[in-house]
Amino acid sequence: MNQLLLIPIVAFAKLLTLALRASGWGSGTALPGYLVGRYFPFVLKALVSQIPVVVAITGTNGKTTSQTMLSAVLDQAPQAKVLRNKAGANLSQGILSELLKQSNAVGRLDFTHAVLEVEEATLPRIARLIKPNIIAVTNLYRDQLDAYGEVDRTEKLIRDGIAQCPTAAVVVNGDDPRTSRLTQGLENATYFMSLAPEYARFLPYEGKLNSRVPDSQGLEATNIHINEDLTTDFSVQGQINSERVNLPQAKTVSPGFFHVYNALTAIAIAHLLGIDGATAIAGLKAFKPAFGRGEILTRQQGDKQVNYRLLLVKNPASFSLSLELLRNIPSLKLILAINDNTADGKDVSWLWDSELERLNQANIDWILCTGIRAKDMAVRLKYALDVPPGPIPAEESIRQAIDSSFKKVGSGDTVFVLPTYTAMLEFRKLMGKTLDVL
């Protein structure tokens, strides 16, 4: 009976998505799933149960990048057909909207794997319904206090989600003291992703850095080198079940030590799915940064071409790590785009917990603040910088910020943009990029 009901429900969802896009009111990444999930709650389970392997990826930072990396690896495997919620719609309605969009007219899905980014607080409900085969947790930082409260609550929500899937393999950040303890007392087989201690100690975890247990299940990255173009080289060694893993030459185009964890997560999950190391390395090589996560957008007028490299910031940890990454950029040209919409977090006091003082070690050409909270960002910089590079403009209009920055630089230059989530979406849209083209 439920299978017959899927036909009109899927038809409604597809028509609604088309109507939203045609009207310009939205892209259909949430509303169809919200309505269907509210009135026909059986649909999510009915759809996802058709996919043999389901991977859920959660955590504060790195969900989208880990998902995109793993999808790139799976794309290298023969016969693999991957479904993912690639627009970053990681609430239950976003996941259901993607499933509805990808199903055929009678509600059938032809995929071998689902790789789903799942928002932290959504994991308990999603895990209960879809029973993922593998759950990955990237890290746990303080994020949007007005949405989640203290990080202890987020940790409990994720643990509750894992506990509902006792047969799921769990891949966690083994250096983060919060994620490394998530499965203590649970039955789940757990695999720990770590950086060699000389690199991990620079990450701003809450609490004492977890020490890797020798011969524990998992992977460790060594010989990490961030190149001038911000690509990252590293080696991988470790053990997954009874097999040794040794990959002396791995590479990712996502910049920074923190993205190496995402690569390790993709490699480990691939290994659990029976994909060899060479295929995983080839997938990472083919990987392109997810929207706003190291992505490069180009603006051209006549013979002048300027590159804008987007590094999403959403909490003190991601902001501080991105600033650390920029310290060695010669003649740094920087736009800080800060919004306080619901998806960004209405409370912007996190700007004061971010280590803007790291910019004092950078070779700054100029800084421009933009977005709804441009003036707040400019005030924070006033206290952070020992010697500001001249007056710091605060232009609330992101469009004006793009125009003025374009005029300030020469052809071939790169401007680094550190935006919050909705500021990133607006920046991309003004540059002619939308989620729908992914």
Question: Where in the sequence numbering do the catalytic residues fall?
Answer: 347
Q: Which two tokens stand for residue 95?
A: 């996941």
CA-CA distances (angstroms) from residue 75 to 83, 84, 113, 172, 359? 11, 12, 10, 23, 39
CA angle 192–66–323, rounded 5-degree value: 95
* Lookup result for tokens 């993912």: 84
Q: What whole-number distance in Å separates Cα of residue 335 and Cα of residue 307?
A: 12
Sheet holding 304-311, edge to edge: 293-301, 304-311, 414-419, 332-337, 364-370, 394-395
The DSSP code for 431 is T
Instruction: Check: CB of residue 109 under 8 Å from CB of residue 10.
Output: no
- What is the amino acid identity at position 375? K
For 226, the enclosing helix (H) or strand (E) is strand 218-226
CA distance 84 to 72: 11
Taking each helix axis from N to C end, the angle separating 63-75 and 257-272, rounded to the nearest 10 degrees, works out to 50
Q: How far apart are CA 261 and CA 195, in angstroms?
A: 7
User: Does residue 22 sit in helix, strand or coil?
Assistant: helix
Helix (H) or strand (E) holding 237, with range, is strand 232-240
Rounded to whole angstroms, how far apart are CA atoms 209 and 176?
6
Rounded-to-integer distance, Cα 27 and Cα 287, Å: 25
Evaluate whether 205 touches 261 at the Cβ level (below 8 Å): no
Instruction: Tell me the HSE value of 269 on the side-chain side, using a 13 A CA sphere.
Output: 36
